Structure 1
Amino acid sequence: MKILVTVKRVVDYNVKIRVKADGSGVELANVKMSMNPFDEISVEEALRLKEAGKADEVVVVSVGPAKAEETLRTALAMGADRAILVETDDQVEPLTVAKIVKGVAEAEQPGLIIVGKQAIDDDSNQTGQMLSALLGWAQGTFASKVEIGDGKATVTREVDGGLQTIDIKLPAVVTTDLRLNEPRYASLPNIMKAKKKPLDKKTPADFGVDTTARLKVLKTEEPEGRKAGIKVKSVAELVEKLKTEAGVL
């Protein structure tokens, strides 16, 4: 079985985000970029399934600018077999990404697609579900455990009430949650080898996908700073402040 994994290049999670002076978006110049943390978990899960003998090949795909090649090479250094870069400088939306990955899936014919449940830059949490609908495949979202066998996947999902375990037929789309695994670190020799591996480069046009944005960001603002808390001497005073000052009672 072949596993297809999507990865995205985002601002590193350790970086403090700054909004551009004109409010047109987030400042990306001279900012450290890295693989989306949920996608690291996806790559790790695919590699573990391969090591367990449940898959023969792990293919990673990214939709983005030429610099996304660095993110793909990180996945190759972790142990992925092949990488596909669908290059575009446009700000692609979740539906556009889902349409492109659908085209990649139709060409690659994987038995399983693993997608990070969301990217930490836009937090959309949409691509995996949209991809499942476009392909007509079963889906298991917010996975904290995945087991493969007998043409099906058993997925333990993190839901509001706790955990839910479902069986879905393969091929399927699974989106990963944080507690699924702990991603491995790529060794220096593997990083050096990954730099020499060829990438399969495509464009959205190869899959007949128009990347024109359907949504427009009007303005980006930083959130207001948190106000200092206060101490009260009694429950009665707390209730009074909640009524008169906070207006929540």
Structure 2
Amino acid sequence: MKILVPVKRVVDYNVKVRVKTDGSGVDLSGVKMSMNPFDEIALEEAVRLKEKGLATEVVAVSAGVGQVRDTLRTALAIGADRAILVETSTDVNEDLEPLAVAKILAKLVETEKPGLVIMGKQAIDNDMNATGQMLAALLGWGQATFASQVEIADGSVTVTREVDGGLQTLRVGLPAIVTADLRLNEPRYVSLPNIMKAKKKPLEEKKISDMGVDITPRLQVVRTVEPVQRSAGVRVNSVDELIEKLKNQAGVI
């Protein structure tokens, strides 16, 4: 069985994001970029399934600017067998919407014919949490989201997922879409030998113009602002003073 793993290039989670002075978006100039953490978890799970003999090939795919090659090379170093880049733009500030990504992935699924698609539940840059669900709808496949455990047997995938009331277990027939949650696994450390080996693994590049996919934006960012900074706390000397401040200053009682 072949497993397809979409990965996204995002601002590294350790970087403090800066908003452009005109409020048109996030400033990406000179910012460290890395693989979306949820996608890294999904890739780790796919590699583990291959190591267990449940998959024959792991293919990492991504869409965006040419710099995504670095992210795909990281995916190859983690353990993917090969990678596919769909170049959609030369502007690093241009972000694909979930529907556009889902359409691109649907085209790749048609040609690659994987038995399973594992992807992160969301990207940390826009927190849309929509691509996996849209892809399942376009393909007509079953889906299991927010996976914290994945098991494959007898032509189906059993997924334990976290819900508000606890844990829910679903069994979905293959082929299927699974989106990875934070507690699915802990991605492995990428060693230098594997980084060197990744340079020899195949990385195929495609142009969006050759795929017949409409990626026209349907959303418009009106304004981007930084979160309001929290004010410093205040120490009180008594319960009465606390109640007075909660009532007259904070206005919560």
- TM-score tier (shorter): over 0.9
Q: Is the partner of 1:196 in helix, strand or coil?
A: coil
Q: What amino acid does structure 1 have at the position aligned with 2:22?
A: D
Match of 1:157 in 2: 161
* Cα distance in structure 2, aligned partners of 1:40 and 1:183: 7
Match of 1:16 in 2: 16
* Cα distance in structure 2, aligned partners of 1:207 and 1:129: 21
Q: How does 1:169-184 map to 2 (within 5 A)?
A: 169-184=173-188
Contact preservation (8 Å) 2:81, 2:201: no
Q: CA deviation at 1:236?
A: 4.0
Q: CA deviation at 1:207?
A: 2.9
Q: CA deviation at 1:247?
A: 2.3
* Cα distance in structure 2, aligned partners of 1:67 and 1:204: 15
Q: CA deviation at 1:92?
A: 0.8
Q: Which whole-Å deviations, capped at 9, do the CAs of 1:87-113 have from their partners, x for residues lacking one?
A: 112421011101110110111111100
Match for residue 116 of structure 1 among 100, 114, 120:
120
Contact preservation (8 Å) 1:117, 1:125: yes
Q: What amino acid does structure 1 have at the position aligned with 2:131?
A: T
Contact preservation (8 Å) 1:12, 1:33: yes
What number of residue pairs does the alignment pair up? 249
Q: Which whole-Å deviations, capped at 9, do the CAs of 1:49-95 have from their partners, x for residues lacking one?
A: 00111100000100110000000010111111110001112421011
Match of 1:54 in 2: 54
Match of 1:220 in 2: 224
- Measured on the aligned residues, the alpha-carbon RMSD in Å equals 1.3
Q: Is the partner of 2:195 in helix, strand or coil?
A: helix
Match of 2:80 in 1: 80
> What is the TM-score of this pair, normalised by structure 2?
0.94
Match of 1:25 in 2: 25
Return 116-125 or 18-27, whichever deviates more. Answer: 18-27
* Cα distance in structure 2, aligned partners of 1:173 and 1:234: 55
Q: What amino acid does structure 2 have at the position aligned with 1:27?
A: D
Contact preservation (8 Å) 1:42, 1:115: yes
Match of 1:135 in 2: 139
Structure 2 gaps, min length 5: none
Q: What amino acid does structure 1 have at the position aligned with 2:205?
A: K
Structure 1 gaps, min length 5: none
Contact preservation (8 Å) 1:91, 1:213: no
Q: CA deviation at 1:118?
A: 0.6
Q: Is the partner of 1:140 in helix, strand or coil?
A: strand
* Cα distance in structure 1, aligned partners of 2:136 and 2:240: 53
Match of 2:7 in 1: 7
Q: What amino acid does structure 2 have at the position aligned with 1:210?
A: D
> What is the TM-score of this pair, normalised by structure 1?
0.96
Q: CA deviation at 1:227?
A: 0.6
Match of 1:211 in 2: 215
